[in-house]
């Protein structure tokens, strides 16, 4: 069952990238995955659910990020790596697809991309948030990160990230989103 769900998610994301969110139908998803509509609806209520399942799948295994930050001595750079993981995966979606995902989330009450709810949306996101807070505290203790309330600092960064992501996706990615997010990161932390 888990394999089928992951295959649906991964195949759908590739279809979204290739032909667009709106243009991809559930029938096409089923055909590409070699499943019935009943199987699709067993795993997902609609296409929007796949969007959020994609992000949840990303955050469910943070071991690649943890393995990468183990070899970094500076807590600020470790923190950046945890954020960069999300940024790189979001950028890989393409501006058009990210825009569609954000619109879908807005229509559903901003339960996923909201800076107020983002780190409370699932157990895996909570783990990521807790790791980031610990890195901020460690960095502050080692004078690598500015003093301040770690939760507030992370919230401000997440808010800026969402704003930049919205601008970047709405303007067809005409600038380097990651570069802009690094500037904001250095300003806050």
Model pLDDT, residue 2: 73
Higher-confidence residue: 64 or 38? 38
Tell whether the model's pLDDT for residue 58 goes beyond 90: no
DSSP string, 56-76: HHHHH--HHHHHHHHT---HH
How far apart (Å, rounded) are the C-alpha atoms in residues 2 and 182?
35
Three-class SS of residue 8?
A: helix
Tell whether the model's pLDDT for residue 169 goes beyond 70: yes
Tell whether the model's pLDDT for residue 111 goes beyond 80: no
Model pLDDT, residue 56: 81
Single pTM value for the model: 0.84
Tell whether the model's pLDDT for residue 55 goes beyond 90: no
Model pLDDT, residue 119: 64
DSSP state of 142: T
123: phi then psi, degrees, rounded to nearest 5: -60, -40
Model pLDDT, residue 121: 67
pLDDT digit string (tens) for 3-47?
Answer: 999 999 999 999 999 998 889 999 999 999 999 999 999 999 998
């Amino acid at each position: 069952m888990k394999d089928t769900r992951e295959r649906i998610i991964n195949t759908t994301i590739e279809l979204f990238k290739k032909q667009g969110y709106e243009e991809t139908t559930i029938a096409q998803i089923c055909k590409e995955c070699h499943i019935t509509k009943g199987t699709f609806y067993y795993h997902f209520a609609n296409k929007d659910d796949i969007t959020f399942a994609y992000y949840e799948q990303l955050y469910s295994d943070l071991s690649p990020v943890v393995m990468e930050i183990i070899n970094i001595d500076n807590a600020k750079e470790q923190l950046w790596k945890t954020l960069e993981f999300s940024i790189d995966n979001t950028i890989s979606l393409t501006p058009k697809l990210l825009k569609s995902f954000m619109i879908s989330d807005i229509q559903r009450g901003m339960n996923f991309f909201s800076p107020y709810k983002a780190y409370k949306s699932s157990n895996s996101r909570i783990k990521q948030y807790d790791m980031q807070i610990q890195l901020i505290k460690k960095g502050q203790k080692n004078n690598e990160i500015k003093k301040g309330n770690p939760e507030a600092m992370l919230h401000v960064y997440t808010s800026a990230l969402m704003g930049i992501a919205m601008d970047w996706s709405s303007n067809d990615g005409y600038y380097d989103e990651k570069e802009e997010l690094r500037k904001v990161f250095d300003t806050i932390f």
